[in-house]
Amino acid sequence: ETGVTQSPTHLIKTRGQQVTLRCSSQSGHNTVSWYQQALGQGPQFIFQYYREEENGRGNFPPRFSGLQFPNYSSELNVNALELDDSALYLCASSPFGGSGNSPLHFGNGTRLTVT
């Protein structure tokens, strides 16, 4: 069984730039959720993708966008990076789409630093 994989593991960007983070879901999982975890905080829900469509969104501005592909992998795009976007970005997959009732399987995350 292949777990959730994320790339890259670390990234340094400059304020105003754009970034794309990638995630491959665990085999058999059709749903991908993205979370932002600032240092010392709990993960904050960004959005979830199910059947290639956004299924729920947290309190994040439109410059945070995403995609899900037919093979269930996903991308998180962030435009016009701000210093406060520096965080660990976690991708999580789950086997049953469409609700907040499925346990999440997290990847190791991408550590984004914005300077």
Partner 1 sequence: GQQVMQIPQYQHVQEGEDFTTYCNSSTTLSNIQWYKQRPGGHPVFLIQLVKSGEVKKQKRLTFQFGEAKKNSSLHITATQTTDVGTYFCAGGGSSNTGKLIFGQGTTLQVKP
113 binds partner 1 (CB under 8 A): no
Q: Is 39 in the site for partner 1 (CB under 8 A)?
A: no
Site string for partner 1, 2-31 (x = CB under 8 A): -----------------------------x
Alpha-carbon distances, residue 65 vs 41, 53, 110 (angstroms): 22, 11, 16
Distance CA 99, CA 82 (A): 30
C-alpha 85, offset from chain centre: 13
**Piece of 21-29, 64-72, 73-81, 101-109 that binds partner 1 (CB under 8 A):** 101-109
Q: Which two tokens stand for residue 111?
A: 């550590």
Q: Extract the tokens encoding 22.
A: 């990638």
Query: Would you tell me which residues interact with partner 1 (CB under 8 A)?
Result: 31, 33, 35, 41-45, 48, 50, 55-56, 58-59, 90, 94, 97-109
